[in-house]
Structure 1
Amino acid sequence: MVIDWLLGKMSGFAYRQAMVIAGNSVSYGDLLGFYRSWTGIIGDQRIKPGEVILLEGDYSPEVCGALLAFIANNNVIVPLSAAVRHNREGLMEIAQVDKSVHFEGRNSQVVTNSRAPKTGLLKDFTLSGRAGMILFTSGSTGAPKAILHDFEPFIDRYKYPRDTLRTLSFLLFDHIGGINTLLHTLSNGGSIICPPNRSPADICALIEKHQVELLPASPSFLNMLLMTEAYKYYDMSSLKIITYGTEVMPDITLRLLHSRFPDVQLRQTYGLSELGILRAKSKGPGSPWLKIGGEGVDTKVVDGVLHIRSKSAMLGYLNAPNPFDDEGWFNTEDQVSEEGEYIRIFGRRSEIINVGGRKVYPVEVEQVLLQMPELRDVTVKGEPNTILGSIVTAVVNVNRPMDSKELKSRVKDFCRGRLEDFQIPVKVYIEEGELFSERYKKLRK
């Protein structure tokens, strides 16, 4: 089986704490018990290798046991969190799901779905009898794409021993970063601390109570953590590492993190659902520059855009054309600058604002606006303009009620001398709701 080695490691950790959920401790032995139970259910339900199985839930021993059992049975798993339940039927159609398992607490239900025979890339893969996984892109810039991974090369990277840490499972179960957290922790005998929700105060409370050592999070969440100052009311001394990725980190947020948590390592990660989480090394503490690589990974920059070739890359999309070139290179669409072997990421090329032929990177404007005491959060995006092609606009959360005309005037005054004229927002919109998705990633639609 593709996960024999992982099950063997978990058996060796049998008496260690594997998870903390709703205040209850779950051992590795307990997780293996759920795995065996689901192996029995798979047999009783006559679930065949190659069938596509939707797992709808979040981190729990029941879900983890089921996930391991379906992988061992050489099924294609489709993790789905409650955050995207509203798109469930459409995603199931794209993934050509045969059976779905809905988890509600300790209860679960297996439902058989009426599906036509498999088509395209998925048909060929299921005939191979190998374990697989389908993930969906966030769809922040369009309809979500279904990504098919062969599970064997995907999981191979976790065979090499890494640090054993108490990790907070901040990233969702169906996110590439969430799957990475789960597999990394289980393969190294660490503990996963599962949050009931993801507010800054509740996350800080869990760090204090359960002595969390590693917090993987998004820049949007870390900015909210800094703005709310929730960390001041809890003992955060157990925290050793904060990793951040999924979107560009503003310099001001990174500097503030380094100032507020001087004893914590800040590690930038890099990953895409299409490629997995890749090894990355920052140029230095608090530096936005990083080096991406590792065994089986090649990188190159073409016209300022990062391209990657990886042995653990996806097989392809189920509902979009093949994105790889003839040599296996994947265009990440991330605009970067180079400094020796290090790169700095400025964001997706599709997010760059073209103002009369001049490029504006949203993150460069955001990190200036985030220094304004009037603003709690900001998202910068382009808006069509008949003369310039696009203009820069800012959508903001304010710290106190304010007239929009007054705020626009303050924004322009603050930006003068800090930004070029064409970078200064022409329009400023005040938004009461949060500016990020349920995955704590900026909304740029």
Structure 2
Amino acid sequence: MEKVFLVDKGTVYTYEKLLADLNNKRTESPYLYVEHNHPYKVFLAIIHSLLFDYPIEVLDGDFSEEEIKELGINRKALMTSKKINEHTLFMNMEEVMKRIYEVDKWQLTLYTSGTTGRPKKMSHSFHTLTRNVRVHKKYEIDVWGFAYNPTHMAGLQVFFQALLNQNTLIHIFDESMKRVPELIKEYTITHISATATFYRNVIPYLQGKEYSKMKRVTFGGEKFDLSLENKMKIVFPNAKMINIYASTEAGSLFAAKSDTFEIKPEYRQLVMITPEQELCIHRSLLGNSISLNSDWFHTGDLVEMIDETHFKFQSRQSEMINVGGYKVNPSEVENILIQVPGVIDILVKSKKNSVTGELLIADVIKNEQMDEKELKKEIKKFASIHLQEWKIPRIIKFVDKLPSTRTGKKVRK
């Protein structure tokens, strides 16, 4: 039976098909721009660029004409390609893997999600993209629930972990949440990596069931939510819960079993926390196209140091809200109010106010069975007990959906 590489909306792509398509592709293009971010086409192009060691610039397939223009890219350039002079034919996937590890000058360029302005360009080598990939025979039968955009850093991390172990990927990022439980069972998914927002959206369809074959559930891209982890542990009783800290600039750097990250010995001289509690990373850990005025890259992430080698992520510096002179971390408020029974997900943001400068607004997705008036009362009551006065949202709105970036993270507009 042929081993499956990817399943996407019912279409099955085997490793045999992947091998044939790699052998039949005889041109190279400087840009990877696939409409709707079709995962198989994205992965095929990336593997091909690796095999023939040519640089590739990955653009989000949902970039608009205006965004492409702002990046300084000519639309016609996206369609350009040239014939590969020396085209090698690969007999099997073992030869493909051997060639991948021999790449020398290969470079992949991608863009930040652009939630705080124009997307920033960042280039990576094979080493920086696979720094924390684990390759071993014991991982050969892993099946990954692919719950990220394939053109962004988190998606690339999962892709390389699966590819280098020749695992199966089940694309669930664009699937209906109702379908995810079926896919987990049908394909015996053993690993899932996703944002907390994805898990919150899917958990109502998972609760009441138990998936004992799930081995690992990974959180990444957003602040860790302990109450959500507890719900996931009930659904996936045998799975390890892992929290990953990664960025477009540096790739995956830190991992934790809960919300406390450890700075490993090899990184201790390469990580710095400023007096303002901002996490900084030494330039040697970054991709190779970022321009810095010093040896340190300021991540914009605020952390709490537990001791000399452990820290907790608190918030993005840009997300802090000033309410009457008090700095409010919206993620902290969300993590408290998500505990109210009937609240499925919540987004805390700000609105200009003539008295306090800004006031807090909470957009809430509720359980369908809950009455709006009653739930609003419960949220306000819970907030008054567990939050300081200036951290309590003054306006609570019920919504059907929360805005998110292309990578599946919350957007605070």
With the shorter chain as reference, the TM-score category is: 0.7 to 0.9
Q: Could you tell me which of 256, 265, 278 is aligned with 2:231?
A: 256
Which residue is equivalent to 1:299? 271
The alignment partner of 2:131 has SS state of: helix
What is the deviation of 1:192? Answer: 1.4
Note the C-alpha offset of 1:167. 0.8
What residue number does 1:346 align with? 314
Matched AA of 1:427: I
Deviation of 1:276 (Å): 0.9
Partner of 2:389: 421
Q: 1:288 aligns with which of 259, 275, 297?
A: 259
Give the Cα–Cα distance (whole angstroms) in 1 for the partners of residues 21 and 246 of structure 2: 30
Q: List structure 1 runs of 4+ shifted beyond 6 angstroms.
A: 98-101, 401-406
Shift of the 185–384 alpha-carbon distance from structure 1 to 2, 3 Å rule, reads same
1:432 Cα offset (Å): 2.9
Measure the CA separation in 1 of the matches of 2:410 and 2:175: 16
CA distance in 1, matches of 2:206, 2:74: 42
* 1:363-417 deviation per Cα after TM superposition (whole angstroms, max 9, x unaligned): 2211222122343221112223333332222111233598977765443222122
**Cα offsets for 1:202-225 (capped at 9, x unmatched):** 222111011111000110111122
Deviations 1:23-59 (A, max 9, x none): 4554434322222222x234xxxx6xxx444344545
Distance in structure 2 (CA, Å) of the matches to 1:158 and 1:336: 22
8 A contact 2:180–2:202 mirrored in 1: no
Aligned residues of 1:59 and 1:194 also touching (Cα < 8 A)? no
Residue 260 to residue 216, structure 1, CA distance change in 2 (3 Å): same
Identify the match of residue 178 of structure 2 among 189, 195, 201: 201
Between stretches 433-442 and 273-282, larger displacement belongs to 433-442
Residue of structure 1 aligned with 2:366, choices 375, 398, 413: 398
CA deviations 1:1-27 (Å, max 9, x no partner) are xxxxxxxxxxxxx96443334445544
User: AA paired with 2:379?
Assistant: V
Q: 1:390 to 1:69 in 2, by over 3 A?
A: same
Aligned-residue offset at 1:354: 2.1
Contact preservation (8 Å) 1:95, 1:134: no
Could you say which residue in structure 1 is the equivalent of 2:23? Answer: 36
Aligned to 1:144: 118
Distance 1:270 1:57 in 2: 27
Moved more, 194-203 or 299-308: 194-203
Query: Residue 324 of structure 2 is aligned with which of 356, 363, 385?
Result: 356
**Relative to 1, partners in 2 of residues 1:368 and 1:253: Cα closer, same or farther, differing over 3 Å?**
same
Counterpart CA distance in 2 for 1:195 and 1:238 is 18
**Matching residue of 1:120:** none
Give me the TM-score of the superposition, normalised by structure 2: 0.82
Correspondence 1:77 to 2:52: no
Counterpart mapping for 1:323-342 below 5 A: 324-327=292-295, 329-340=296-307, 341-342=309-310
SS at match of 1:315: coil
Which residue identity does 1:18 align to in structure 2?
A: F
1:211 & 1:147 partners in 2: Cα distance?
37
Structure 1: state its 5+ residue gaps: 1-13, 102-109, 113-128
| Mapped partners of 1:138, 1:212: distance in 2 | 28
- What is the 5 A alignment of 1:369-380? 369-380=337-348
TM-score (norm 1): 0.76
Q: Distance in 1 between matches of 2:344 and 2:50?
A: 43
- Which amino acid in the other structure matches residue 261 of structure 2? L
Is the CA contact (8 Å cut-off) linking 1:250 and 1:364 kept in structure 2?
no
Contact 2:363 2:399 in 1 (8 A): yes
Aligned length: 386
The one-letter amino acid paired with 1:157 is R
The offset of 1:243, in angstroms, is 0.2
Q: Which residue of 2 aligns with 1:20?
A: 7
* Match of residue 288 from structure 2: 315
Partner of 2:47: 68
Q: 1:241 aligns with which of 205, 216, 219?
A: 216
Is this contact kept in 1: 2:143–2:167, CA < 8 A? yes
Q: Percent identity?
A: 23
Deviation for aligned residue 1:150: 3.7
Aligned to 1:229: 205
Q: Does 2:410 correspond to 1:442?
A: yes
Counterpart amino acid of residue 161 in structure 1 = V
* Structure-2 residue corresponding to 1:121: none
Shift in CA distance, 59/53, structure 1 to aligned 2, threshold 3 Å:
closer
Amino acid of the structure 1 residue aligned with 2:46: L
**Matches of 1:88 and 1:401, distance apart in 2:** 42
Q: Deviations over 1:235-259 (max 9, x none)?
A: 6222110001101123322222234
TM alignment of 1:173-188, pairs within 5 A:
173-188=150-165
One-letter amino acid of the counterpart of residue 210, structure 1: Y
Q: Given the superposition, is the C-alpha separation of residues 296 and 363 from structure 1 closer, same or farther in structure 2, using an over 3 Å criterion?
A: closer
**Partners of 2:328 and 2:335 in 1: CA distance:** 13
Please say if residues 79 and 173 of structure 1, whose CA atoms lie closer than 8 Å, have aligned partners that are also in contact.
no
Q: For residue 293 of structure 1, report the CA deviation from its aligned partner.
A: 4.2
**Partner Cα distance (1:158, 1:29) in 2:** 27
Q: CA RMSD in A?
A: 3.2
**2-structure distance, mates of 1:347, 1:222:** 19
Paired residues of 2:109 and 2:124 also in contact (CA < 8 A): no
